[in-house]
Structure 1
Amino acid sequence: MGAEGDIPDEARVILRSLASCWTDVADPKAMQVVRLKGAMTNKVYQIKWSTDPGEQSRKVLVRIYGEGVEVFFDRDDEIRAFECMSRHGQGPRLLGRFANGRVEEFIHARTLSAADLRDPEISALIAAKLREFHGLEVPGRMEIILWDRLRNWLSAAKSVCPPEEAQMLRLEAMDEEVSCLEEELCRGNHQCIGFCHNDLQYGNIMMDEETRSITIIDYEYAGHNPVAFDIGNHFCEMAADYHTDIPHILDFTKYPDLEERRRFVHVYLSSSGDEPSDFEVEELLQDIRKYTLASHLLWGLWGIISAHVNKIDFDYMEYARQRFQQYWLMKPVILGSSDAHHGSTDNSGSVFAL
């Protein structure tokens, strides 16, 4: 059975209803289904119908939710964020919902690649778009979600881990790590809080090649957080390429160097129209660097849980080990050295293929 057989009957009813409304589609039942690669949690399909000669084919996206994801986020919260983004013109429109998924507008733009994140022009476009995203007024909880999410995921990870696995991953030390990290990172009242994407990997960013406009998609993990966390998490994602034969292997030598980080932050801050001071740039750079530690812990825990609840072909446990190893490697560099607070040491490490 091919990709077409993966689409639930409930979704097919929605798809045929949509296609019936398009006068240029001859046969609403004659749809082509193509599985799109790179999704880490869900299964995503492009649905296409042939149209009258000379007309562009009709396309939509079907997203089938992954198993066990309710431990990570509240689906109703995600749908509310999705609908809010649509109202703000920030993402695809919601076209229909079914029991374990939804139908979305197909955006005629290309999904970015791992290499695109390092392109100075594209990186600047992402920085400006992210500043706009962070400024959106989104209904729902206004509180920072990072620390509760870390503790909830840690509890879930402990509940699914066998004792020997938990010992190998040092889960017994994580409660104290989270508390110490929260105390260290929440000092002072200078940090900017915004509506954050919290999963800004290249697969969640699309670009229109003609207009060069950026669209940020997939809001499953979105919520209010320090913007420094969102940017730091984005920088960490530059170590990943999910379209290789070994998509779980991370190369932290690809973490952006200080010049790249400073350029991103300068564009981010100046995109509002005001030129930032050197102090503002350096202060945000320092905060971003610290929040990479929270990113490593969060996605390490995500990897552990996913290894036990998700059947997608991805070595989640190996991914988790690498994120934790990078955390323990970089913690003394970032928090334990006065030099680290001035950006003299890069947040890079070796390639971990454990």
Structure 2
Amino acid sequence: MTNKVYQINWPTKNGDPHRKVLVRVYGEGVELFFNRDDEIKTFECMSTHGQGPKLLGRFQDGRVEEFIHARTLSAPDLRDQEISSLIAAKMREFHSLEIPGPKDVFLWQRLRAWLGLAKKLYSAEDAKEFQLDTLEDEIRLLEQELSCDHQEIGFCHNDLQYGNIMMDEETRAVTLIDYEYASYNPVAFDIANHFCEMAANYNAETPHVLDYSVYPDPGERWRFVYNYLMSSGNEPSDAEVEQLVNDSEKYTLASHLFGGLWGIISGHVNKIDFDYMEYARQRFEQYWSRKPLLMGS
């Protein structure tokens, strides 16, 4: 939904199996969302940590990567208990990485930057439709209410939809790919964003339509967080699990603003065949409908 990705393979002269690489051509307007040089540095750092494909080369509008011999997950895979537990453990490992640079929470800064950009791209009428003039107050409220002393900060993926998760069918090893939005953030936000992505099926006939009837139920959320904490090697208490489950639920509000702003900006700059504006409407609708329940009036 951001880049065009190609598999390139060719025969070698010495008769070895075909060589295979992945070529990523950057999507239009992506520089509005993140700094590409920072993303490349993250990509290289991930590679040195053994977390993803190796960077093989760069060109003006893209790069060449090692081809990972694994399958990309599908929407139903996220509901599979075994696969979900593997994702939870991998996410915990990812959050524990030591990445060079500032370790401050980047979520609120990014939301404000995207909001400012969205206001510049759209007319006053469009801004009114999406209530953009009210979102600065909403971001301030969420930052004030959700920032707390007990929350854990880690290096977060921030875009953990099924298409960014790969699994080797033989070893069951999970690899997280595409670090364009990765930054230090509350780990509860990354978990929340992953839960929200379970409502999406980007391979359906209407890939922009979200189905919140399949949002993980309380049991699924509890089990995921338990597996996440358990993967560190220590048995978490029920109180620890409940705390992170509750924090993650509240951070779904930040995820909806994140997705909504991403959608309306993408709708202006991206030519990929996807109804970004309708996607944004659904994310904002979820924000306003869920806020009274999660945050009070």
TM-score of the aligned structures, taking structure 2 as reference length: 0.98
* Matched position secondary structure for 1:239: coil
Match of 2:36 in 1: 75
Q: Deviations over 1:209-239 (max 9, x none)?
A: 0000000000000000000000000000000
CA distance in 1, matches of 2:5, 2:115: 28
* Matched position secondary structure for 2:198: helix
CA distance in 2, matches of 1:257, 1:92: 33
2:206 corresponds to 1:249: no
Match of 2:291 in 1: 331
2:189 corresponds to 1:202: no
Counterpart pick for 1:155 among 105, 116, 129: 116
Match of 2:189 in 1: 229
Alignment map for 1:84-163 (pairs within 5 Å): 84-163=45-124
* Matched position secondary structure for 2:97: coil
CA distance in 1, matches of 2:61, 2:212: 35
State the superposition RMSD in angstroms.
Answer: 1.2
CA distance in 2, matches of 1:333, 1:52: 64
Q: Deviations over 1:162-206 (max 9, x none)?
A: 2211111111110101101111101x3000000000000000000
The offset of 1:87, in angstroms, is 0.3
Matched to 1:106, the amino acid is: F
For structure 1, the 5+ residue unaligned runs are 1-39, 338-354
> Identity of aligned pairs, percent?
69
Matched to 1:86, the amino acid is: S
Counterpart pick for 1:166 among 107, 124, 127: 127
CA distance in 2, matches of 1:132, 1:216: 11
For structure 2, the 5+ residue unaligned runs are none
Match of 2:276 in 1: 316
Matched to 1:196, the amino acid is: C
Q: Deviations over 1:316-352 (max 9, x none)?
A: 0000000000000100011118xxxxxxxxxxxxxxx
* Matched position secondary structure for 1:73: coil
Q: Give every structure 1 segment of 4 or more consecutive aligned residues whose post-TM-superposition deviation is greater than 2 Å.
A: 50-57
The offset of 1:48, in angstroms, is 1.0
CA distance in 1, matches of 2:264, 2:61: 23
The offset of 1:52, in angstroms, is 7.1
CA distance in 2, matches of 1:57, 1:128: 33
The offset of 1:56, in angstroms, is 3.3
Match of 2:11 in 1: 50
Q: Deviations over 1:39-79 (max 9, x none)?
A: x1011111011357985322100111111111110111101
Match of 1:178 in 2: 139
Matched to 1:141, the amino acid is: P
CA distance in 2, matches of 1:250, 1:54: 47
* Matched position secondary structure for 2:5: strand
**What number of residue pairs does the alignment pair up?**
297
CA distance in 2, matches of 1:114, 1:165: 32
* Matched position secondary structure for 2:179: coil
Counterpart pick for 1:275 among 210, 235, 243: 235
CA distance in 1, matches of 2:17, 2:248: 43
Matched to 1:181, the amino acid is: L
* Matched position secondary structure for 1:250: coil
2:24 corresponds to 1:63: yes
Aligned CA distance change for structure 1 residues 184 and 141 (closer, same or farther; 3 Å): same
TM-score of the aligned structures, taking structure 1 as reference length: 0.82
* Matched position secondary structure for 1:60: strand
| RCO higher in structure (CA 8 A, sep ≥6) | 2
* Matched position secondary structure for 1:149: helix
Q: Deviations over 1:117-154 (max 9, x none)?
A: 01000000000000000000001221110000000000
* Matched position secondary structure for 1:97: strand
Match of 1:219 in 2: 179
